[in-house]
Amino acid sequence: MLHLSGDDFHSMAEWARSHAPEEACGLLAGYRDEEGEAFVEHVFFCENADHTAEHFTISPREQLKILKEARSSGMEILGNWHSHPETPARPSEEDLRLAQDPSAIYCIISLEAPAWPSIVAYQKDASGAVSRVLVSHDA
């Protein structure tokens, strides 16, 4: 399970709205407990270096800066998030192809109904099997 505060969810949705029609993106930092549940302590908002509505790229320089900041605060990078400005919150073929880290949680925020954003999270294991990750937020 991924635990995300309602404030963080709303901030992510607002960032996505403000960057539409491009995909918005960022990283999630926090910690995992003994049972493997992930707790987001900080959401990082990143520039989509591709500036397109079809996909996103976070520059390696920005990723490294965020990784250092997270580690210096005692957090780990839990995964990334991006928006789908006009489509449902489900991974596209490209999203699944690019999901290469079995420890990462991948989140998608859909703005298909901009006033009612939705979020979906998933993981892809080393064998390529995709599983949904439940998201808990108090929105």
What mean pLDDT value characterizes the chain?
94
Residues 9 and 2: their CA atoms lie apart, in Å, by: 12
What is the share, in percent, of the chain residues with pLDDT greater than 90? 94
Per-residue confidence band for 138, with pLDDT thresholds at 50, 70 and 90 = confident
Residue 106: per-residue pLDDT: 97
CB atoms within 10 A of CB 134: 10
User: Which domains does the chain carry?
Assistant: 2-136 (3.40.140.10)
| Per-residue pLDDT tens digits for 88-130 | 999 999 999 999 999 999 999 999 999 999 999 999 999 999 9
> Is it the case that residue 35 has pLDDT exceeding 70?
yes
The pTM is what? Answer: 0.94
Residues 15 and 86: their CA atoms lie apart, in Å, by: 15
Residues 53 and 56: their CA atoms lie apart, in Å, by: 8
| Per-residue pLDDT tens digits for 64-78 | 999 999 999 999 999
Residue 137: per-residue pLDDT: 79
Per-residue confidence band for 139, with pLDDT thresholds at 50, 70 and 90 = low
Residues 95 and 48: their CA atoms lie apart, in Å, by: 15
